[in-house]
Amino acid sequence: MDLYDLSFFLSTMWVGPFWLAMLVYPEDERTKRILSGPWFFIGPLVIWWIVIASDPKGLIELSEGFTDPLNIVDSLVGVLGTRAGASAAWAHMVAGDIFITRWMWNRCMERETERWISAVSVFFGVMLMPVYGLWIAWVGVQHFRDPSWFEPIVPEVIGNARFWVYASGAFEIVLGIGVALPWFRKEAALGLTLMLIVLYWANLNMWINEIPLNGRVYENHWHILRGAGQILLILISLWLGGWEMGNRIFHSVRN
């Protein structure tokens, strides 16, 4: 077990007791006491700094990549593809997720919500957000690794299929990471909701025009399942904050 394996284990184990306390004993005084200070997220942040200090070259390369708009995604993929980058990203996400989960738990306590609502919020606060966001980001990376796989389903009317594959991949990476991290999660969730609606145009194009993928034309029931999956992804992004952020923007525009 090296430093990166150890950092993954420790950052996960650090937040575990706090998460379980909010999930199993949300109204207990001991839970309120241990979550009243900063200790619930300090551990992963310290681990993040240790991992970054162990490989400063990766952070320097990432900073240099951000100076070139055309290579930002490549730099991000390169850093996250290393053991140091993956470990640092995990510690960062764990700290952010326990922070936002604590906020959700606190809101449930203040509003005296039903126990099952509190439990669902706390459970998915840690479990769903990072997994969902990183999966979206991973799909975006595939747009750059194998763009030719996605090109056939891009509607011809918008032209330049390679450009749109790269553009959608970049949005998926940025918004996926945005959802996985807590700082701009609601804004990213709204952007992801809109993106998922727009991107289904390509899947609909594939269905209507019977476009083969990997040499196979899929039957109607597969397209129906794919559409249902897209609806589920949209509902998740709305639940993660897209609906709330959309309502906030709508009311601010109206006023």
For residue 216, give the 3-state DSSP assignment: strand
Same domain for 87 and 201, yes or no, is no
How many C-alpha atoms does 96 have within 13 Å on its Cβ side?
18
Shared domain for 34 and 61, answered yes or no, is yes
Distances (CA, A) of 211 to 63, 130, 149, 207: 41, 33, 12, 7
In a domain, 120, yes or no: no
Task: Give yes or no for residue 137 having a pLDDT over 80.
Answer: yes
DSSP letter (8 states) at residue 217: P
**Contact predicate 104/122, CB 8 Å:** yes
| 173 and 244 fall within a common domain | yes
Indicate whether 197 pLDDT > 90: yes
**Same domain for 77 and 139?**
no
- Final residue in a domain of this structure, among 48, 78, 113: 113
Question: If you average pLDDT over residues 203-208, what whole number do you get?
Answer: 92
Residue type, position 210, single letter:
E
Q: How many domains does the chain have?
A: 2
Asked if pLDDT for residue 198 goes beyond 90, the answer is yes
Quick: pLDDT tens for 46-69.
988 888 888 777 666 666 655 665
The mean predicted confidence, pLDDT, of the chain is 83
Higher-pLDDT residue of 126 and 41 is 41
3-state secondary structure of 213: strand
Residues 144 and 109 in one domain: no
Separation CA 242–CA 252 (nearest Å)? 15
Are 83 and 31 members of one domain?
A: yes
For the cut 80, the answer to whether the pLDDT of residue 174 exceeds it is: yes
Burial label for 230, CB within 10 Å (0-12, 13-18, 19+), is middle
Show which of 51, 81, 113 is a domain's final residue: 113
CB 143 within 8 A of CB 169: yes
What is the band of 72 on the pLDDT scale with cuts at 50, 70, 90? low
Q: How far apart are CA 49 and CA 84, in angstroms?
A: 11
Helix 83-111 and helix 72-80, axial crossing angle in degrees, nearest 10: 90
Is the same domain home to 52 and 171?
no
Beta strand residue intervals within 63-141, DSSP E: none
User: Do 135 and 238 sit in the same domain of this protein?
Assistant: yes
pLDDT of residue 155: 92
Q: Are residues 35 and 72 in the same domain?
A: yes
Looking at residues 95-100, what average pLDDT do you find?
A: 81
Residue 72 lies in a domain: yes
> Is residue 123's pLDDT more than 90?
no
pLDDT for the residue numbered 101: 83
Residue 119 lies in a domain: no
- How high is the pLDDT of residue 60? 66
Residues 64 and 165 occupy one common structural domain:
no
State which residues form the domain around 87.
Answer: 1-113
The mean per-residue pLDDT over the stretch 62-82 comes to 63
**For residues 218 and 180, which has the higher predicted lDDT (pLDDT)?**
218
168 part of a folded domain: yes
Q: Is 222 part of a structural domain of the chain? A: yes
Q: Is residue 123 part of a domain?
A: no
Contact 92, 52 (CB under 8 A): no
Given a cut of 80, whether residue 203 has pLDDT beyond it is: yes
Q: How confident is the model at residue 215 (pLDDT cuts 50, 70, 90)?
A: confident
pLDDT single digits (tens) 15-47:
889 988 898 888 889 999 998 888 888 888 898
> Which of the two residues, 164 and 116, has the higher pLDDT score?
164
pLDDT higher than threshold 80 for residue 71: no
Same-domain status, 94 and 175? no
- Please state the rounded mean pLDDT for residues 5-13: 87
Give the distance from CA 171 to its chain's centroid.
12
Share of the chain above pLDDT 70, in %: 87
Query: Is the pLDDT reported for residue 84 higher than 60?
Result: yes
Residue 118 lies in a domain: no
Same domain, 139 and 241: yes
Give the residue-averaged pLDDT of 66-90.
69
Question: CB under 8 Å to 240, separation ≥6 — which residues?
Answer: 128, 129, 132, 179, 185, 186, 189
Q: Which of 113, 136, 153 is the last residue of a domain?
A: 113
